[in-house]
Structure 1
Amino acid sequence: MKVLLFTPSYKRPYILRQCILNAKNQSYTDFTHSISIMYDDKSEVANYEVLFDDILDDRFIIQYNKDSTGHTNALTTISQAPTPYDIYIKMDDDDIYKKDYVKTIVEYFETHKCDVLSSHINYQLNNYYLSKGNYRSLGGNFPNNNYLMPMTLAFSHKAYQVLLNTKDSRHFDDLVWRKAWSASGLKDHNVDNSNNIIWHIHGKNASVGSWFRPN
């Protein structure tokens, strides 16, 4: 399978480095990772490359783009790798992934027939709470549920084609997508990937602003 990881990133330089290292540490290694570094003013990304130029290899595509909505940022990031892929896996820059994260997703797609793959999440939780069963399912009953930022979100090329024709309503990207996928009759499955992520810190990350200036 051809696998694309994609990561839009906005003002999180040192967290982005960790994200790249997480990708390099994956047990499944046959992937391309497209990263789009978003900015409001281009001066914000001066010297950004010092953060990762020592750890990149030819699997990584990094470009700089003007910040927009979540939906548009994601499509911009995916479009940097225009070759059709079998699986598109969203890797958030503020999550910490263990080595079998991508492998679990690929193996699920290889053995099940679905176009969208999610996993369990409830609000902003670390793996301790997930291991205790304190989660709710994002899959099913969409678009009416409101559990944001699924810890696993992967989809097929067919689902990606739907996104290309989806109007940007400026709402959270995953909810915009689920509404479009549901309307197109695509099948959504849940996978238990909780053991393959250490921390989901959306909303509790240490985003940085103008003080970050690499030497």
Structure 2
Amino acid sequence: MKVLLFTPSYKRPYLLRQCILNAKNQSYTNFTHSISIMYDDKSEIANYEILFDDILDDRFIIKYNKDSSTHTNSMGTISQSPIPYDLYIKIDDDDIHKKDYVKTIVEYFETHKCDVLTSHVGYQLNNYYLSKGNYRSLGGNFPDNNYLMPMTFAFSHKAYQVLLNIKDNRNYDDLLWRSAWSTCGLKDHNVDNSSNIIWHIHGKNTSTADWFRPN
């Protein structure tokens, strides 16, 4: 199975380094990881490069692009490796996964006929927002979404082809995608991948506006 991990990132340099190390630690190793780093000024690029030059290998594709909407960023990240993949796995730069995370997703796709794969978020660390009823309808079975963010988010090449025709309305990419997929009869499953998640930082994002780098 050809697997593409994809990670759009913006002003999270240290989290992104952890994300790359996290991917390298996965028990499933036959993947390409496409990473698109959005920047405001080209001077930021050198600061990023020094963070990654000792940890990258041939599986990682990193490019730099001007910041834009989440959907455009995600699609641009995927297009950096344009060959068709069987499975596309969104890897957020602010999540930490255990070593069997990708393996669990791949094995589920190999044994179940589905196009979109998510998982429940009931245990994630920012349950405060859930308790207040502040849901973002990005996970669960469409259209009855009542989860803040899917811990696992992966989709087939068929689902990816649907995304190519989306008109970007600058909403959350996951929400745009679910709305498009729902009109195409794609099969949506939820897999129990909670034991492979260590940390969700949503609501506690660490961004770096000003950089310090020793000489």
Q: Does 1:15 align with 2:15?
A: yes
Structure 1 pair 214–187 and aligned structure 2 pair: CA distance change class (3 A): farther
Task: Name the TM-score, length of structure 1 as normaliser.
Answer: 0.90
Task: Report the counterpart of residue 71 of structure 1 in structure 2.
Answer: 71
Structure 1 pair 44–91 and aligned structure 2 pair: CA distance change class (3 A): same
**In 2: Cα distance, 1:192 partner to 1:146 partner:** 17
**Preserved contact between residue 138 and residue 175 of structure 2 (Cα < 8 Å):** no
SS for the counterpart of 2:81 is: coil
**Preserved contact between residue 120 and residue 190 of structure 2 (Cα < 8 Å):** yes
Give runs of aligned pairs for residues 108-127 of structure 1, distance below 5 A: 108-122=108-122, 125=125
Structure 1 pair 42–214 and aligned structure 2 pair: CA distance change class (3 A): farther
**Preserved contact between residue 7 and residue 77 of structure 2 (Cα < 8 Å):** yes
**In 2: Cα distance, 1:170 partner to 1:124 partner:** 26
**In 1: Cα distance, 2:24 partner to 2:7 partner:** 14
Q: Unpaired runs of 5+ in structure 2? A: 128-136
Task: Report the counterpart of residue 6 of structure 2 in structure 1.
Answer: 6
Q: Deviation of residue 42 (structure 1)?
A: 1.9
Structure 1 pair 212–12 and aligned structure 2 pair: CA distance change class (3 A): farther
SS for the counterpart of 1:47 is: helix
Task: Report the counterpart of residue 33 of structure 1 in structure 2.
Answer: 33
Task: Tell me which moved more, 75-84 or 204-213.
Answer: 204-213
Task: Report the counterpart of residue 176 of structure 2 in structure 1.
Answer: 176
Report the count of equivalent residues.
206
Q: Deviation of residue 122 (structure 1)?
A: 4.4
**In 2: Cα distance, 1:123 partner to 1:27 partner:** 24
**Preserved contact between residue 17 and residue 52 of structure 2 (Cα < 8 Å):** yes
**In 2: Cα distance, 1:78 partner to 1:90 partner:** 10
What RMSD in Å do the two structures reach over aligned CA positions? 2.0
**Preserved contact between residue 95 and residue 199 of structure 1 (Cα < 8 Å):** yes
Give runs of aligned pairs for residues 116-155 of structure 1, distance below 5 A: 116-122=116-122, 125=125, 138-142=139-143, 145=145, 147-155=147-155
**In 2: Cα distance, 1:96 partner to 1:26 partner:** 11
Task: Name the TM-score, length of structure 2 as normaliser.
Answer: 0.90
Q: Give the share of equivalent positions with the same residue, in percent.
A: 81
